[in-house]
Amino acid sequence: MRLSELSKRSGVSTATIKYYLREGLLPPGERITATQADYDEEHLRRLRLVRALVQVGRVPVATAREVLAAVEDESSDQLSRLGTAVGALPHGPTTTGDDAATERAGRTAEEVQRRLGWRIVPGNPAHRMLISSLATLIRLGYPCEVDHLLPYGRAAAGIAEHELALIGEFEAPTTQLEAAVALTVLYEPVLLALRRLAQAEEAGRRFGANRGAGADPAADAEGEG
Amino acid sequence: MRLSELSKRSGVSTATIKYYLREGLLPPGERITATQADYDEEHLRRLRLVRALVQVGRVPVATAREVLAAVEDESSDQLSRLGTAVGALPHGPTTTGDDAATERAGRTAEEVQRRLGWRIVPGNPAHRMLISSLATLIRLGYPCEVDHLLPYGRAAAGIAEHELALIGEFEAPTTQLEAAVALTVLYEPVLLALRRLAQAEEAGRRFGANRGAGADPAADAEGEG
DNA sequence: ATGATTAGATAGTGCCACTCTCCAACCAGA
DNA sequence: TCTGGTTGGAGAGTGGCACTATCTAATCAT
Strands (E), chain A: 30-33, 36-38
B33 touches strand D (CB under 7 A): yes
Distance B63 CA to D19 C1' (A): 16
pLDDT of residue A91: 80
CA distance B18 to B6: 11
Compute the average pLDDT of residues B182-188: 92
Q: Which residue has the higher pLDDT, A212 or A116?
A: A116
Compute the average pLDDT of residues A201-216: 66
Q: How far is A32 from chain B (nearest CA, A)?
A: 28
Are the Cβ atoms of A119 and B215 closer than 8 angstroms? yes
pLDDT at A22 exceeding the cut of 60 = yes
pLDDT of residue B175: 85
Helix (H) or strand (E) holding B33: strand B30-33
pLDDT at B47 exceeding the cut of 80 = yes
pLDDT of residue A209: 57
CA distance A147 to B139: 39
Are the Cβ atoms of A124 and B200 closer than 8 angstroms? yes
Radius of gyration (C-alpha) of chain B in whole angstroms? 21
How far is the CA of A14 from the CAs of A17, A22, A23, A47, A65, in angstroms?
Answer: 5, 12, 14, 12, 19
pLDDT at A222 exceeding the cut of 80 = no
Compute the average pLDDT of residues A68-85: 90
Protein footprint on strand D: which nucleotides are under 7 Å from a CB?
6-11, 17-22, 25-28
CA distance B36 to B3: 9
Q: How far is B131 from chain A (nearest CA, A)?
A: 8
Distance B86 CA to D3 C1' (A): 61
From the alpha carbon of B37, which nucleotide's C1' atom is closest? C7
Q: Which residue of B has its CA nearest to A109?
A: B194
The closest alpha carbon to B50, from B77, B91, B19, belongs to: B19
Q: How far is A219 from chain B (nearest CA, A)?
A: 5
B15 touches strand D (CB under 7 A): yes
Q: DSSP letter at B211?
A: S
Compute the average pLDDT of residues A176-181: 90
pLDDT of residue A215: 41
User: Which amino acid is present at A61?
Assistant: V
Q: How far is A68 from chain B (nearest CA, A)?
A: 14
User: Which amino acid is present at A125?
Assistant: P
Write down all domains in chain A, each with its CATH number in brackets: 3-87 (1.10.1660.10), 100-204 (no CATH)
Q: Among partner residues A124, A136, A159, which is closest to B186 by beta-carbon distance?
A: A136
Q: What is the pTM of this model?
A: 0.89
Torsion of CA A16, A20, A22, A28, to 10 degrees: -110
A33 touches strand D (CB under 7 A): no
A214: which chain B residues are within 8 Å (Cβ-Cβ)?
79-80, 82-83, 86
Are the Cβ atoms of B214 and A80 closer than 8 angstroms? yes
Q: Which residue has the higher pLDDT, B173 or A150?
A: A150
Contacts of A92 (CB under 8 A, 6+ apart): A129, A132, A133, B56, B189, B192, B193
pLDDT of residue B212: 42
